[in-house]
């Protein structure tokens, strides 16, 4: 008889375990996407761009230190890290429902009475200690689907952190380059201002000496005033961009050092693009969108599980005794067990409506995922052509600057020899000033295009260099779809 009981118990356990292996709803599989884009023929293919670290791309020691500081101190990034902690805790809470919940309940009661007629006094005491166990058997995989969704949502916040980290690196670099460009334009303008002050002084002397007409003197004065009017606006832009960089670093507004001239900033000749399909694994915003899709898919299964019965096992075991000193010896055993089965018979369409809602949510997330992929492909395509064309623009601006310098040299020489009038000199000065300003802007645009392309390709992430310490390695490595 004893052997039959054991066999029956083992058989029941095997049946329960077998049923718990079932999970309602579809298992996730990555949607088919048309990502085989033929990049521009001049694009560099080969190694993944992720193999180029941001400190190799931005070869400026001060900029590197600013980026490192931003990755540690930026407050928005800290918010994203705290969000990971929140979802990590929620994931643990969801997973705990798979296991039995064990607790304890203690109870003490006492009463006393005295009969005045008989003189009898009664004291009744009762003590009880009970252990409790409750376990909702996941027969149809509802809880496991919820855990699957919680894991995906957690990984989504991790990818959001990655995305924000890459964006932060890009923003620090772009703000730094913009600040260097403004610094350079301010230097050019101040240098031009000194030259025009000298030109205006000479024009005044020549006018007073009767060598030139007053109009040439007034033209020099106008050019001087125009140049002088540009300086306050450039100084304002320096302050605003400096404050913006300080905020990115997690600092209050303050002065910040800059190293090198913008023209000394190195530009990589080419960035390896790799295959377009690699973006699915490399860009964190795409990975985050897919995590959201995994979570939405799992929620369909969790909703479908409500169609089926729910089995909860509860049990109690303990002692009850009239004496606290000899609680176990003088007490008696107290135990009970309950198997609670609830099954939906009529829900007025509630379960069906919930399943349909989860399917609709999945379709929404699916289309968002596809849109994210298409936008990523567009950003890479835009980045490639911009990176190529800004290099050509910079070369053309450099040629223009060289020609403008020669034009001014010849104009000044011919003016001193009386061959041309002062208008030609002013025109040459104006063209040189514009060429210097334009070249500075072209250099900045080329540097920014390098940053944008690098970001669009999902570069700068090797899985560890910007990983927050709160992310378990096994979770960060579990992105194999």
| Structure tokens belonging to residue 399 | 């040629």
Which CATH number fits the domain 22-98+139-181+249-310+350-476, given the four candidates 2.60.120.650, 3.50.50.60, 3.40.50.2000, 1.20.1600.10? Answer: 1.20.1600.10
The model scores a pTM over 0.85: no
- d(C-alpha 52, C-alpha 456), whole Å: 14
Handedness of CA 442, 445, 451, 455 (dihedral sign): negative
Write the DSSP string, 363-424: HHHHHHHHHHHHHHHHHHHHHHHHHHHHHHHHHHHHHHHHHHHHHHHHHHHHHHTTSS-HHH
| Structure tokens belonging to residue 452 | 């944008």
| 161 within 8 A of 246, measured Cβ to Cβ | no
Q: Which residues contact 142 (CB under 8 A, 6 or more apart)?
A: 24, 301, 302, 305, 306
3-state secondary structure of 94: helix
Q: How far is CA 477 from the centre of its chain?
A: 17
Paired strand residues for 321: 127
- d(C-alpha 239, C-alpha 227), whole Å: 20
- d(C-alpha 302, C-alpha 6), whole Å: 34
Give, for all 481 residues of the chain, the pLDDT tens digit. 445 544 554 445 545 555 455 677 788 888 888 777 766 645 555 455 656 777 778 888 899 999 999 999 999 989 988 888 888 888 888 888 778 888 777 766 666 665 666 666 666 666 666 777 787 777 777 888 888 888 888 888 889 998 999 999 999 999 999 999 999 999 999 999 998 898 889 888 888 888 778 888 888 899 899 999 999 999 999 999 999 999 999 999 999 998 878 988 888 877 777 677 777 888 899 999 999 999 999 888 888 887 888 777 787 776 666 555 554 455 456 666 677 777 787 778 888 898 899 899 999 999 999 999 999 999 988 998 999 999 999 999 999 999 999 999 999 899 888 888 888 888 899 999 999 999 999 999 999 999 998 888 887 655 444 555 545 444 444 444 4
Phi-psi region of 260 (alpha: psi -120 to 50; beta: other; left: phi over 0): left
Host H or E run for residue 145:
helix 142-208
- d(C-alpha 170, C-alpha 451), whole Å: 6
- Sheet with 332-342, edge to edge strand ranges: 101-115, 120-137, 310-321, 332-342
Q: What angle do CA 456, 462, 466 make, to 5 degrees?
A: 90
129, 145, 189, 307, 453 from 444: Cα distances, Å: 75, 50, 17, 61, 14
Q: Domain segments of the chain: what residues?
A: 22-98+139-181+249-310+350-476
Helices and strands of the chain, counted as H and E runs: 11, 4
**Neighbouring C-beta atoms of residue 166, cutoff 10 Å:** 22
- d(C-alpha 61, C-alpha 242), whole Å: 18
């Amino acid at each position: 008889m004893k052997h039959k009981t054991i066999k029956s118990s083992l058989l029941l356990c095997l049946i329960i375990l077998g049923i718990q292996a079932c999970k309602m709803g579809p298992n996730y599989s990555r949607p088919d996407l048309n990502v085989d884009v033929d990049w521009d023929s001049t694009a560099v293919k080969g190694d993944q761009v992720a193999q180029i670290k941001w400190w190799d791309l931005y070869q400026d020691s001060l900029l590197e230190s600013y980026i490192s500081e931003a990755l540690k101190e930026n407050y928005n990034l800290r918010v994203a890290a705290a969000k990971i902690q929140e979802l990590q805790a929620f994931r643990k809470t969801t997973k705990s429902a798979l296991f039995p919940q064990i607790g304890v309940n203690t109870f003490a009661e006492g009463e006393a009475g005295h009969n005045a007629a008989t003189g009898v006094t009664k004291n009744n005491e009762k003590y009880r200690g009970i252990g409790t166990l409750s376990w909702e058997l996941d027969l149809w995989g509802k809880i496991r689907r919820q855990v699957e969704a919680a894991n995906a949502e957690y990984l989504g916040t991790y990818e959001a952190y990655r995305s924000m980290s890459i964006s932060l690196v890009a923003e620090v670099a772009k703000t730094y380059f913009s600040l260097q460009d403004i610094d350079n334009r301010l230097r050019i303008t101040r240098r031009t201002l000194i030259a025009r002050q000298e030109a205006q002084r000479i024009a005044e002397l020549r006018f007073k000496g009767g060598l030139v007409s007053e109009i040439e003197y007034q033209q020099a004065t106008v050019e001087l005033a125009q140049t002088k009017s540009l300086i306050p606006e450039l100084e304002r832009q320096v302050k605003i961009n400096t404050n913006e960089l300080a905020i990115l670093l997690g600092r209050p507004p303050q002065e910040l050092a800059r190293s090198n001239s913008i023209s000394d900033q190195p530009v990589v000749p080419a960035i390896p693009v790799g295959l377009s399909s690699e973006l699915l694994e490399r860009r964190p915003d795409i990975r985050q969108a897919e995590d959201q899709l995994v979570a939405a898919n799992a929620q369909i299964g969790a909703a479908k599980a409500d169609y089926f019965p729910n089995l909860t096992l509860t049990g109690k075991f303990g002692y009850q005794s009239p004496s606290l000193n000899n609680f176990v010896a003088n007490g008696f055993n107290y135990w009970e067990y309950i198997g609670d089965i609830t099954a939906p018979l009529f829900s007025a369409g509630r379960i069906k409506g919930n399943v349909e809602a989860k399917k609709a949510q999945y379709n929404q997330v699916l289309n968002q995922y596809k849109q994210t992929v298409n936008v990523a492909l567009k950003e890479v395509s835009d980045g490639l052509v911009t990176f190529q064309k800004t290099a050509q623009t910079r070369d053309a601006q450099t040629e223009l600057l060289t020609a403008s310098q020669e034009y001014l040299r010849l104009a000044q020489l011919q003016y001193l020899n009386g061959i041309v009038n002062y208008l030609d000199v002013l025109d040459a000065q104006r063209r040189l000033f514009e060429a210097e300003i334009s070249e500075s802007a072209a250099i900045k645009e080329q540097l920014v295009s390098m940053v944008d392309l690098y970001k669009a390709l999902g570069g700068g992430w090797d899985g560890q260099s910007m990983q927050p310490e709160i992310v378990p390695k096994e979770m960060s490595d579990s992105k194999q779809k």
